[in-house]
Amino acid sequence: MKNRCLQMASLPAVVFQAVALCLSLIWITPADAAMFLHIEKITPRMGQRGTTVEVIIQGACLNDPREIVFYKPGIKALRVESMPKLAHPIGLAHGGRIEDQVRCQFQIAPDCAPGEYPFRMRTATEVTSIGTFHVSPFPVVDENEKGYNSNDTIQTALAVVPNVTVRGRMGPSGRGDIDIYRVPAVAGQRLTAEVDSVRIADVHYGGSEYDLAIRILDETGQEMASNDDNSLHLQDPMAAVKLPRNGFAYVEVKRSIFVPDDREYCVHIGTNSRPLAVFPPGAQAGTTQKFRFMGDPLGEFTETVKVPSQTGTFDYYRDAPSPLSMRSSPYPNILEETDAIVTRVGQLPAALNGIINTREDTDTFGLSVKKGDRLRIRVFAATLGSPIDPVLRLRPVTVDGKPGPIEWEVDDSALPDRDIFGTSFRSRGGLKDILDPSVVWDVKTDGYYHLEIQDSSGSGGSTAVYRIEVEQAPDSVHTFLASTAFDWMECIRTSGLAVPRGNRWTVNVNVQQGQGNSYRGDLNLVAHGLPAGVRMVSSRIPAGRTFWPVQLVADDSAQPGSALITFEAKPVDATRPFESRSQQQIPFINHSGGDAWRTVKLDRYVLAITDPAPFSIEIQAPPVPLVRGGELAIPVKIKRRPGFNEAIEFQCDWIPAGVGIQPALIIPAGATEAVLKISGEANAPLGPCPMVVVASTIREGLDAYLGTGRVRVSSEIVNLMITEPFVELTSAPESVRRGAHQRYVWKVQHKSPFEGTAQVKLLGLPKGVNVVDPLPILSKDSREIAFDIEATGEALLGSVRGVSCEVIVRAGGQEIRQRTGSGTLRIDPK
């Protein structure tokens, strides 16, 4: 590998920071192909609402930027413009590099909610991988530490005034960097400190260097509060105190584990409230109710909150930089009766709310249900930031009123059981939902049951709130775009939605049933939010398919731009209530094998209409079927725009199980035609099946699989028919002596009709055994065929298995080859 000098003095400040960040990483040359993302770094990571912040976005393939597309309202990106490329690209741990830079202004609305704002960039030819930016309610200042240990003590603390967000850095000092901030203290006032570190991390690979801890100290250095991890923000610490006296207090930020690395964090230092839980942790949608807020250092308080009319989880911030998560449900609340052993639930559906007060606490709700009820019982506790790890248990109550044996017990959930898809990471990607049980209960008998909830972690306490939503199991299907790349790195080739104007692009949309779904029929996809001039092409999805090709076509009239779209799955024949949501999950701070610390959850997709592509690709629907056990050659044609003669790569990205395809093929520079071969396995699905070919330009030095930096188009979706094989040939074990001839007979069973005659070849003969011409001819009337085989004096003695036949049928202007049979031939001595 070639080392390059670093000319730091000539680089702008933001580049200097990036370089400092990556000093421990390697320099690479452009020839080093690796895992590339478009966006590798965004500086700064956070801005105050109501301000406009200059943001530098760095990475690869960011030349010719056109637009920043946010997933949520609140931020607009202005003046998106290219900056000069870095003179020396910076290599990153996952193999990507920083070489391109884009400067823009993020105009953050005054009413913009704090938190994370994912976005993608539209360039002339692509939609980039994800980027994130964060919003604080407070003024944002930089730590600007000199060196790494200049504010490590109370005496050298950096003075700040609440309410403020400090953008700090944890440096790579061998002593371990400590950042201390001095805050004026007023007796009786609240002081709150919250760190964003893991939550603002935007690297694919990372580890404990992001894990910080916090302490609040008095003037003598005595600790007043501390935190490392917590159930609300996991690895990101938060602490709050009621200040005991006037003077100064100090907020100390340091790493939980010594890792000499350089990372950015933000610490919010404020006088804001910092409740740790709200009770009840949800209410009926659209209602206005009083809630108890618990865990604040100034004590519990109540507040009236308007619950959103849209159901689901919502964030309630009050005056804090981070929210408490709450639930909005279409049914009323039942609150745990703290004085009763069992809280009776009058009517279902309902949301049952309570607090696991102690380690030993078990809360019980009494439910009356009827045979045939199909209830989805879903707990929301850890999901909302409660410290507990709940276990749910059901017991039928006997006629004498005593709870019977456990009918079922549920602890954790698989993420799909929480309707979270596309996260087959090895770990749970920081998604707390997995700790909460979710179960569909098919009630077998009428009766009265006890539903018990306990905590398996011994974390019960005053803030250990939970909510159990009990409702009829809904029918639901979720659509999502899943990355199939190594360690779930974003694969823009398979999940990016960039459609060149006047062309088309196809992605595979995943379709998965939600927990409790009982609908098993075909589905239709409906796209919502498509911009003018763009249409979706997707045939009916047969029942049982878990992914399906969806094509987006941009007319010549479509204007370059972008849109946030969703794909809704609908039953083809039902008017029944049906839920369908779109989602995409992007992991960050990954480890080998896909152990992510956090996941950016998206509920829409960014579609971009890009500049016209310099080519298009066409295939024709094959005029003959693909038979099981057979092969088919499909002509592929490229239409080049004048002047575009580069080589083009093409492949099939969508295949049902049982159909084999070639790996990506290259059409040489200037060529316009190629052939794609596909094969049908014995389990290839019979009947019509969509087929599509995608093609892209080639960019040397960038990972082809992820597809960063390429112009991509697809062919139209054509129908491929898969049928049974023409014939099935079988033979009895046969033998031949050295130096002799033998008639080798195969019985014919006709499976699919064919016209004319077919030639049959014998495959897999051992050395020294040959077929004597003429080869047998097969027709629709053939019942058996026979080969004349001869064994030479050198023929290998012994038994050979796996002798088969290749049947060659001419139809539709091409040869259809089918393999069939598995015979045994023994060669005997003379």
The least distance separating other proteins from the CB of residue 260, rounded to whole angstroms, comes to 8
Whole-angstrom Cα distance, residue 4 to residue 27? 7
Closer to other proteins by Cβ: residue 26 or 234: 234
The least distance separating other proteins from the CB of residue 151, rounded to whole angstroms, comes to 16
**Which residues neighbour 429 within 8 Å (Cβ) at sequence distance 6 or greater?**
423, 585, 587, 596, 597, 598, 599
3-state SS of 331-388 is CCEEECCCCCCEEECCCCCEEEEEECCCCCCCEEEEEEECCCCEEEEEEECHHHCCCC
Interface with other proteins (CB under 8 A): 174-176, 207-208, 211, 228-230, 234-235, 256-258, 260, 382, 389, 406, 409, 411-412, 426-432, 434-435, 456-459, 591, 595-598
The least distance separating other proteins from the CB of residue 80, rounded to whole angstroms, comes to 34
Closer to other proteins by Cβ: residue 360 or 828: 360
Neighbours of 168 (CB within 10 A): 25
* Structure tokens, 294: 């618990």
Closer to other proteins by Cβ: residue 345 or 586: 586
Phi, psi of 644 (to 5 degrees): -100, 110
Closer to other proteins by Cβ: residue 209 or 218: 209
Which of 235, 202, 227 has its CA nearest to residue 120? 202
The least distance separating other proteins from the CB of residue 471, rounded to whole angstroms, comes to 26
The least distance separating other proteins from the CB of residue 703, rounded to whole angstroms, comes to 24
Closer to other proteins by Cβ: residue 226 or 824: 226
CA angle 569, 575, 576 (to 5 degrees): 85
Closer to other proteins by Cβ: residue 66 or 450: 450
The least distance separating other proteins from the CB of residue 369, rounded to whole angstroms, comes to 23
Closer to other proteins by Cβ: residue 122 or 255: 255
What is the length of the chain? 830
Host H or E run for residue 744: strand 741-750
Closer to other proteins by Cβ: residue 368 or 457: 457
CA angle 530, 532, 535 (to 5 degrees): 55
Please name the residue that has the structure tokens 């200059």.
Answer: 54
Closer to other proteins by Cβ: residue 278 or 382: 382
The least distance separating other proteins from the CB of residue 365, rounded to whole angstroms, comes to 20
Instruction: Name residue 118's beta-bridge partners.
Output: 132
The least distance separating other proteins from the CB of residue 359, rounded to whole angstroms, comes to 8
The least distance separating other proteins from the CB of residue 411, rounded to whole angstroms, comes to 8
Whole-angstrom Cα distance, residue 16 to residue 817? 61
357: left (phi over 0), alpha (psi -120 to 50) or beta: alpha
Closer to other proteins by Cβ: residue 235 or 610: 235
Q: Are 86 and 123 in contact (CB under 8 A)?
A: no
The least distance separating other proteins from the CB of residue 230, rounded to whole angstroms, comes to 8
312-316/547-554 β-pairing? unpaired
Strand order in the sheet with 115-123: 46-48, 131-136, 115-123, 65-70
Q: Are 708 and 671 in contact (CB under 8 A)?
A: no
Host H or E run for residue 19: helix 13-21
